[in-house]
Amino acid sequence: MIRLDAERPATFCDGHTRRDFLHAGALAPLGLTLAGLNRAKADGARDGDVNCIMLFLVGGPSQLDTFDPKPNAPAEVRGPFAAAKTNVVGTQISEVFPKTAKHADKFSIVRSCYHTATAVHDTGHQMMQTGRLFAGGVEHPHVGCALGYLKGGRGELPPHVLLPKPIGRTGGNLPHGHAAGYLGKTHDPFILNADPNAPGFKVPDLLPPDYVTGVRAERRQKLRDAVDGGTAAFEGSGAAKQLDDNFALAYRLMSSAKAREAFALDKETTKTRDRYGRTRFGQSCLMARRLIEAGVRFVTVNMFETVFDEVTWDIHGSRPFTDIQQMSREVVPNFDNAYTALLEDLSERGLLSNTIVVALGEFGRTPKINPAGGRDHHPGVWSILIGGGPIQGGRVVGESDELAWAPKTRPVSPGEVAATLYKGLGLDPHKELPGPQNRPIPMVDYDRKPVAELF
Amino acid sequence: MRLSSSLLLLAVAAPAPAGELRVHPAEVALSGPNRTQQLLVVEEDGGRVVADHTAAATFATSDAAVAKLDGARVTAAGNGEATVTATVNGRTAAAKVAAHGMDGPPQWGFTNHVEPVLTRTGCNSGACHGALAGKGGLKLSLRGYDPEADHFALTRQALARRVDLTNPADSLLVKKGARLVPHGGGTRITEDDADFNLLKDWITAGAPGPKDNDATLVRLEVFPKAALLKPKEKIRVIARAVYSDGTREDVTRWAKFGSSEELVAGVTEDGVVTVAGSGEAAITVNFGTRVGTVTVTSPYPNTVHANVFADAPRANFIDDLILKKLELLRLPPSEPCTDAEFVRRAFLDACGVLPPADEAKAFLADPDPKKREKLVDRLLEKPAFVDYWAYRWSDLFLVSSRKLPQPAMWAFYRKVRQSVADNEPWDRFARDVLTANGSNLAVGGGNYFVLHKDVAQLAEATSVTFLGMSIGCAKCHNHPLEKWTQDEYWAFANLFSRVGLKNSEKAGEVLVQSRTDGEALHLRRGTAMPPTPLDGKPLPADSPTDRRAYFVDWLTAPDNPFFAKAIVNRVWRSYMGRGLVEAEDDLRVSNPPTNAELLDALAADFVKNKYDLKRLMRQILTSAAYQRSSKPLAGNAADDRFYSRYLVRRLPAEVLLDAYSDLTGVPTTFNQVKSAAGDSTTPVASYPAGTRAMQLPDSLLQSRFLEAFGRPERVATCSCERTGDASVAQALHLNNGVTLNDKLRDAKSVVTAWVGGKGLTDAEIVDRVFLAALTREPTAAERKNFLDILADAAKDGPQARREAVEDFVWAVLTGREFLFNH
Instruction: Convert the pLDDT of each residue in B20-79 to its tens digit.
Output: 999 999 999 998 888 899 999 999 998 899 999 999 999 999 999 999 999 999 999 999
Q: Which amino acid is at A74?
A: P
For residues A356-378, give the mean pLDDT.
Answer: 94
Query: pLDDT tier at B385 (50, 70, 90 boundaries)?
Result: very high
Please indicate, yes or no, if residue A121 is contained in any of the structural domains.
Answer: yes
The answer to whether the CB atoms of A1 and B815 lie below 8 A apart is: no
ipTM field: 0.79
The answer, for A207 touching chain B at a CB cutoff of 8 Å, is yes
**Cβ-based contacts of B583 with chain A (< 8 Å):** 17, 19, 23
CB A262 within 8 A of CB A294: yes
Q: What is the pLDDT of residue A350?
A: 94
CB A343 within 8 A of CB A106: yes
The chain-wide mean pLDDT, for chain A, equals 85
Size of interface A-B (CB pairs under 8 A): 223
The answer, for B728 touching chain A at a CB cutoff of 8 Å, is yes
DSSP-assigned states of every residue in B604-625: HHHHHTTT-HHHHHHHHHHSTT
pLDDT over 60 at A41, yes or no? no
Instruction: State which residue of chain A sits closest to B721, comparing Cα positions.
Output: A184
**A440 vs A50, higher pLDDT:** A50
Q: What digits encode the pLDDT tens for the residues B512-526? A: 999 999 999 999 899
For residues B118-129, give the mean pLDDT.
Answer: 86
The answer, for A126 touching chain B at a CB cutoff of 8 Å, is no
The answer, for B745 touching chain A at a CB cutoff of 8 Å, is yes
Q: What is the pLDDT of residue B726?
A: 66
The answer to whether the CB atoms of B133 and A446 lie below 8 A apart is: yes
Instruction: State which residue of chain A sits closest to B470, comparing Cα positions.
Output: A437
Q: What is the pLDDT of residue A257?
A: 76
User: What is the C-alpha separation between B412 and A151, in angstroms, rounded?
Assistant: 43
- Alpha carbon distances (Å) from B432 to A352, B412, B443, B738: 62, 12, 9, 43
CB B400 within 8 A of CB B409: yes
CB B705 within 8 A of CB B736: no
The answer to whether the CB atoms of B258 and A14 lie below 8 A apart is: yes
Query: pLDDT tier at A46 (50, 70, 90 boundaries)?
Result: low
**B715 vs A401, higher pLDDT:** A401
Report the domain count for chain A: 1
The answer, for B792 touching chain A at a CB cutoff of 8 Å, is no
Q: What is the pLDDT of residue A438?
A: 62
Mean pLDDT check: name the lowest of A233-242, B232-241, B584-593, B677-686: A233-242
The answer to whether the CB atoms of B725 and A175 lie below 8 A apart is: no
CB A346 within 8 A of CB A357: yes
Mean pLDDT check: name the lowest of A313-327, A392-406, A417-431: A313-327
User: What is the C-alpha separation between B280 and B596, in angstroms, rounded?
Assistant: 12
pLDDT over 90 at B331, yes or no? yes
The answer to whether the CB atoms of A169 and B680 lie below 8 A apart is: yes
Which secondary structure element, helix H or strand E, spans residue A359, and what is its range? Answer: strand A355-360
User: What is the C-alpha separation between B771 and B769, in angstroms, rounded?
Assistant: 5
Edge-first strand order for the sheet with B510-514 is: B438-439, B510-514, B499-503
**Cβ-based contacts of A192 with chain B (< 8 Å):** none
Q: Which residues, at least 6 apart from A51, have a Cβ–Cβ distance to it below 8 Å?
A: A45, A292, A296, A297, A298, A299, A351, A354, A355, A356, A389, A425
Q: What is the pLDDT of residue B18?
A: 67
Q: What digits encode the pLDDT tens for the residues B390-439? A: 999 999 999 999 999 999 999 999 999 999 999 999 999 999 999 999 99
User: What is the C-alpha separation between B720 and B710, in angstroms, rounded?
Assistant: 10
The answer to whether the CB atoms of A249 and B735 lie below 8 A apart is: no
Q: What is the pLDDT of residue A28?
A: 28
Q: What digits encode the pLDDT tens for the residues B508-561? A: 899 999 999 999 999 989 999 999 999 999 999 889 999 999 999 999 999 999
**Cβ-based contacts of A34 with chain B (< 8 Å):** none
**Cβ-based contacts of A439 with chain B (< 8 Å):** 472-473
The answer, for B817 touching chain A at a CB cutoff of 8 Å, is yes
User: What is the C-alpha separation between A378 and A362, in angstroms, rounded?
Assistant: 10
User: What is the C-alpha separation between A2 and A35, in angstroms, rounded?
Assistant: 15
Min distance A187 CA to chain B CA atoms (Å): 9
Please indicate, yes or no, if residue A366 is contained in any of the structural domains.
Answer: no
Which secondary structure element, helix H or strand E, spans residue B298, and what is its range? Answer: strand B290-298
Of B557, B457, B698, B679, the residue nearest A308 (C-alpha) = B679
Q: What digits encode the pLDDT tens for the residues A186-225? A: 788 988 888 999 888 888 788 888 888 888 988 998 898 8
Chain A residues 8-27 with CB within 8 Å of chain B: 12-15, 17-19, 22-23, 25
**A249 vs B110, higher pLDDT:** B110
Q: What is the pLDDT of residue B222?
A: 96
User: What is the C-alpha separation between A412 and A449, in angstroms, rounded?
Assistant: 10
Query: pLDDT tier at B186 (50, 70, 90 boundaries)?
Result: confident
Q: What digits encode the pLDDT tens for the residues B348-374? A: 999 999 999 999 999 999 999 999 999
**Cβ-based contacts of A174 with chain B (< 8 Å):** 677
Min distance A338 CA to chain B CA atoms (Å): 26
Q: What is the pLDDT of residue A36?
A: 35
For residues B712-717, give the mean pLDDT.
Answer: 87
Q: What is the pLDDT of residue A245?
A: 67
Domain of A298, in residue numbers: 15-71+106-134+142-158+178-309+422-455
| SS percent in chain A: helix, strand, coil, step 5 | 40, 15, 50
Please indicate, yes or no, if residue A416 is contained in any of the structural domains.
Answer: no
Q: What is the pLDDT of residue B244?
A: 94
pLDDT over 50 at A44, yes or no? no
Of A201, A114, A146, A188, the residue nearest A383 (C-alpha) = A114
**A356 vs B631, higher pLDDT:** A356
The answer to whether the CB atoms of B726 and A14 lie below 8 A apart is: no
For residues B772-798, give the mean pLDDT.
Answer: 93
DSSP-assigned states of every residue in B460-524: HHHIIIII----GGGGTSS-TTSS--HHHHHHHHGGGTTEEEEE-SSTT-EEEEE-S---PBPTT
Q: What digits encode the pLDDT tens for the residues B459-470? A: 999 999 999 998
Q: How many CB atoms lie within 10 A of CB A80?
A: 14
CB B84 within 8 A of CB B61: yes
Please indicate, yes or no, if residue A384 is contained in any of the structural domains.
Answer: no
- Alpha carbon distances (Å) from A247 to A238, A256, B519, B732: 14, 13, 54, 8
User: What is the C-alpha separation between A91 and A69, in angstroms, rounded?
Assistant: 10
CB A454 within 8 A of CB A391: yes
**B681 vs A419, higher pLDDT:** A419
Mean pLDDT check: name the lowest of A18-27, A387-396, B164-173: A18-27
Buried-state track A293-332, b at ≥16 Cβ within 10 A, e below 16: bbbbbbbbbbbbbbbeebbbbbbbbeeebbbbebbbeebb
Q: Which of B745, B814, B820 sits opposite A240 (nearest CB)?
A: B820
pLDDT over 80 at A122, yes or no? yes
**Cβ-based contacts of A253 with chain B (< 8 Å):** 728, 732
For residues B658-680, give the mean pLDDT.
Answer: 92
Positive or negative, the CA dihedral B383, B389, B393, B399 is positive
| Burial zone of B523 (CB within 10 Å; 0-12 exposed, 13-18 middle, 19+ buried) | middle
**DSSP class of A314:** -
**A8 vs B496, higher pLDDT:** B496
For residues A270-293, give the mean pLDDT.
Answer: 96
Of B224, B220, B213, the residue nearest B289 (C-alpha) = B220
Residues in chain A, total: 455
Chain B residues 297-316 with CB within 8 Å of chain A: none
The chain-wide mean pLDDT, for chain B, equals 92
Q: What is the pLDDT of residue B28?
A: 95
Q: What is the pLDDT of residue B11?
A: 39
Q: Nearest-5° angle of CA A394, CA A398, CA A404?
A: 110
pLDDT over 60 at B6, yes or no? no
**Cβ-based contacts of A13 with chain B (< 8 Å):** 473, 479-482
Please indicate, yes or no, if residue A78 is contained in any of the structural domains.
Answer: no
Min distance A72 CA to chain B CA atoms (Å): 40
Q: Which of A216, A232, A432 sits opposite B803 (nearest CB)?
A: A216
Q: What is the pLDDT of residue B481?
A: 67
Q: What is the pLDDT of residue A159?
A: 92
Query: pLDDT tier at B688 (50, 70, 90 boundaries)?
Result: very high
Please indicate, yes or no, if residue A401 is contained in any of the structural domains.
Answer: no
The answer to whether the CB atoms of A19 and B583 lie below 8 A apart is: yes
Please indicate, yes or no, if residue A208 is contained in any of the structural domains.
Answer: yes
Query: pLDDT tier at A231 (50, 70, 90 boundaries)?
Result: low
Q: Which amino acid is at B593?
A: P
Chain A residues 187-206 with CB within 8 Å of chain B: 190, 204-206
Q: What digits encode the pLDDT tens for the residues A135-169? A: 766 889 999 999 999 998 887 788 999 999 889 88
Q: What is the pLDDT of residue B682?
A: 93
The answer to whether the CB atoms of B735 and A23 lie below 8 A apart is: no
Please indicate, yes or no, if residue A63 is contained in any of the structural domains.
Answer: yes
Query: pLDDT tier at A119 (50, 70, 90 boundaries)?
Result: confident
